[in-house]
Amino acid sequence: MILASIAFYLFSAVLLASALAVVGARNPVHSVLFLILAFFNAAALFVLLGAEFLAMILVVVYVGAVAVLFLFVVMMLDIDFEELKKGAQAYVLPGAGVGVLLALELVLLVAINWHIAPVAPGVAEATMPAHVTNTEALGRILYTNYVYYFQLAGLVLLIAMIGAIVLTLRHRTGVRRQSIRQQVARDPALAVQLVDVKPGQGAAP
């Protein structure tokens, strides 16, 4: 038990520190690297909670796809981040003020009224049946009870795909494309021309 607590505090501390570093780092590449560190620590916290499927998804999707995409964009776009940050300095104080105010309100209004339902600790303590993994348990309800939401999510992704194509795909003229039909139909008569070259004059078409 003490080992789990130590692990929890370690991962949480690193997570918070790296999240701060994401916002604070001067170099945007460092920011993305800290973001990846934050994702790994969050995944470790999920493992401590017994949600290994979520942990793996977090690593695969966020580290494997999203963060790497960020890194590409940051490296490929020539943006002067120092220049961008200059304007933001003016908003730091009012922004922080609003944030603190909102946080205080939340603490005063929500946290004071937060009651833990009598059944909640029991639910949290209930362990998964030994022979059912996270993945299987999710799969059992995702395709049955939640099939409606699952299909809707699919439609949302379809729209995202159509949108990306509509807004960015351009058919440029003058691009040489491979045409299998032309390649197959080509024969020696079309491709080769025999020229009778006179000595000392060179070949002129």
Residue 91 binds to another protein (criterion: CB under 8 A): no
3-class DSSP assignment, residue 82:
helix
Residue 98 binds to another protein (criterion: CB under 8 A): no
Residue 87 binds to another protein (criterion: CB under 8 A): no
CB closer to another protein out of 131 and 177: 177
- Judged by CB under 8 A, which of 155, 175, 185, 195 binds another protein? 155
- Judged by CB under 8 A, which of 158, 182, 186, 197 binds another protein? 158
Question: What is the token pair recorded at 82?
Answer: 């120092």
Question: What is the token pair recorded at 117?
Answer: 């339902």
Amino acid (1-letter code) at residue 151:
Q
Amino acid (1-letter code) at residue 182:
Q
Question: What is the token pair recorded at 125?
Answer: 């303590």
Which of the 8 DSSP states describes residue 48?
Answer: H
Nearest in space to 36 (alpha carbons), one of 73, 69, 75: 69
d(CA 5, CA 1): 6
Nearest distance in Å: CB 154, another protein: 10
- Judged by CB under 8 A, which of 4, 148, 194, 200 binds another protein? 148
Residue 107 binds to another protein (criterion: CB under 8 A): no
CB closer to another protein out of 88 and 167: 167
Q: Which helix (H) or strand (E) segment is 124 a member of? A: helix 120-125
Query: Which residues contribute to the site for another protein (CB under 8 A)?
Result: 106, 109-110, 112-114, 117, 145, 147-149, 152-153, 155-156, 158-160, 162-163, 165-167
